[in-house]
Amino acid sequence: MNEALALLAFVLLFVGVIGSVVPLVPGALSSLAGVYLYWHATSYAEPGPVVLAALTLVGLVGFVVDYFSGPIAARAGGASTLTTAVAAAVGVLLVFVVGPVGLVLGVAGTVFALEFSRNRDANASLRAALFASVGVLASTVVQVLLTASMLLAMVLVVAL
C-alpha cells in the first residue's frame, strides 16, 4: 500500500467534513475522493465492495443535499418548480459573490419575490421562503453528519 496516498486520502476525508460547513469547499465530493483514493492506495482491496458502495451512496446523498436542499425545501413549502429552479441558480451564484449569507438570502429572497409575484399572497410567499431558508441551513447539519460518518467508516476500515 502507498502510505502517502493513504494519508492524502484521510486528509481529503477530513477536508470533506470541514467543507460541509465552509462555503465553496465541496464537502461530500472531497470525502468521496478520499474514499476512492484510499481504495486505489490499497490496490482496490479496502474498503470492500459493499462498504465502498455504501460510502458512495452516502457521498452522493451529501452532494445532492449540499446543492439542492434549499430549492427542494422551497418546493415543499409551496413554491413552484420555476421558482425553485431560479432560486437554486441565484443561490449558487450569490454563494460565490457573498458567501453563505448570499446563498441563504439569495434563495429566500428569490423564493419570496417570485412567489409573491406569482400569487400575490405574502403569507404563502413568506412560508415558502422560510422553508427554503430552513432547508439551506439544515443541509449543513446533514452534510456534517454524512461526511463525518464517511470519515468514521474509513477509520474503522483501517482499524479493523
Q: Which long-range contacts (CB under 8 A, 24 or more apart) does 110-115 make?
A: 110/83, 110/86, 111/74, 111/77, 111/79, 111/83, 111/84, 111/87, 114/79, 114/80, 114/82, 114/83, 114/86, 114/87, 115/78, 115/79, 115/80, 115/83
Judge contact between 114 and 83, C-beta under 8 A.
yes
Beta strands in the chain (DSSP E): none
pLDDT at 140 over 90: no
Q: Is the pLDDT of residue 17 over 90?
A: yes
Say what the pLDDT of residue 110 is.
Answer: 93
- Helix-helix angle 27-41:49-76, to 10 degrees: 170
Mean pLDDT of all residues belonging to the chain? 90
Cα separation of 58 and 34, whole Å? 13
The whole-number pLDDT of residue 102 equals 83
Q: Can you give the pLDDT at residue 77?
A: 83
Cα distance between residue 18 and residue 25, in whole Å:
8
> What ranges do the domains of the chain cover?
3-159
Average pLDDT over residues 144-157: 96
Averaged pLDDT for residues 37-54:
96
Using 50, 70 and 90 to split pLDDT, how confident is the model at 139? confident
Q: Which pLDDT band, with edges at 50, 70 and 90, does 104 fall under?
A: confident
The answer, yes or no, to whether residue 120 has pLDDT greater than 90, is yes
Cell representation of residue 51: 462498504
pTM of the model: 0.78
CB neighbours (10 Å) of residue 24?
9
